[in-house]
Amino acid sequence: MNVELLKHKLLEYSKTIGIDKVRITTADPFLSLKDRLIAHQEKGYASGFEHPHLEERIDPSLSLKEVRTIISIAVAYPSKLSDSPKRVKGERRGFFSRSSWGIDYHDVLNDRLKKIEDFLMQECGSIETVRMVDTGALSDRAVAERAGIGWSAKNTFIIAPELGSYVFLGNLLTTIPFPVDEPIEDLCGSCQKCIDACPTGALVEPGVLNAQACLSYQTQTKGFMPEEYRSKIGNYLYGWDTCQLVCPYNRDQDHHQHVEMEPDPEKIKPLLIPLLTMSNKAFKKEFGHMAGSWRGKKPIQRNAIIALAHYRETSALPTLLHLLTEDPRPVIRGTSAWAIGKISESKTEKKALEDAKLNEQDEDVKNEIEKGLAFLKQKGE
């Protein structure tokens, strides 16, 4: 097998199937990552969404015994929405971060990797491969960094000089001894705009993220959101974009070459109030194809309630009062109580909160009702 020629053919083929950059790295263990991952865990910076086995995160051969090289791919996604829904007074909208625009990137990149697999099978016959997109054992970013897709930036994203950091990454482990590429130079230099712009200080040092304090992570949890973050997420329903938006390398990056990544304005900026009472079936139909729906309906609805509180949207009060007494989920009842206190300036809602407190059994919800009542008290109610 002429691996030089095969690599050349692979690079040419990848351009025809909607891949923006391909690089190849060795299958050596990611030894320098090990200490960083252990320290990250020990300091409590992990999100809990990571692959659970440390050794598998480090050593590619634990995913594919005879692995020789890893193909790293990058697919760019858009950063700008050209046809935003029209503003209508009282119609408040939420926002899904850019990583959730279009069809779930896990599906899109898996499809691209499958095509590469088929191509290599056709060219070489019997080879073994393993696909990974985000949820695999290996860190997509560590692979992309070593393969030279981009550098590992201070905001923890991979920045490809020609694409910026709005890229989804995927890996294909192979048993083919391809010639490998080299890492590229880190061009962050003395810039630290992302660190300065992070509203929670989650970028604790260059390239180190305390995921627990990251607003993207906070939008994805299923319990009550700690109060300190509620005032910071604004109208975000999923994810967070600030650390990418402020990056100078993303300034002119807005890629629309992949039809699957194109955002549907009504989906990425949905109306908030209808979202609050949406059935599971309707939620799945509306948002099930998006990466941002992976944690289900509850976190999105909780965040929608927080967004309505952010807007002080009084027309949401009837729905929030309904949720306060009727919703079976404590997180939704409690967050509604908190939001009612934030939004309302009337005795009617004060009475409703007091009544709800008498009937409420859940301690966390009672606590949120207290917070709602305290807001009303501050406003003189």
Residues forming the site for ligand SF4 (CB under 6 A): 153-155, 188, 191-194, 246-249
The dihedral sign for the CA sequence 219, 220, 222, 225: negative
Q: State the minimum distance, in angstroms, from the CB of residue 24 to ligand SF4.
A: 25
Residue whose CB is less far from ligand SF4, 33 or 188: 188
Distance CA 327, CA 370 (A): 18
123 vs 381: CA distance, rounded Å: 75
Angle of helix 297-311 relative to helix 317-326, nearest 10 degrees, comes to: 140
Give CA angle at 57 (54, 62), nearest 5°.
100
**Residue 48 vs 189, nearer CB to ligand SF4:** 189
- What is the amino acid identity at position 304? A
Please state the closest distance from residue 190 (CB atom) to ligand SF4, in A: 8
| Residue of 20, 134, 140, 327 marked active site | 134
Known active-site residue 134? yes
CB of 334 to ligand SF4, least distance (A): 36
Give the nearest distance from C-beta 15 to ligand SF4 in angstroms: 27
CB closer to ligand SF4, 188 vs 369 = 188
Looking at the Cβ atoms of 191 and 271, the one nearer to ligand SF4 is 191
Cβ atoms of 182 and 145 within 8 Å: the answer is no
Minimum CB–partner distance for residue 235 and ligand SF4 (Å): 23
Q: One-letter amino acid identity for 83? A: D
Q: Of 196 and 355, which has the nearer Cβ to ligand SF4? A: 196
CA distance to 111, 307, 353, 377, 379, per residue, from 350 (Å): 53, 21, 5, 9, 11
298 closest CA partner among 285, 319, 283: 283
Residues labelled catalytic: 134
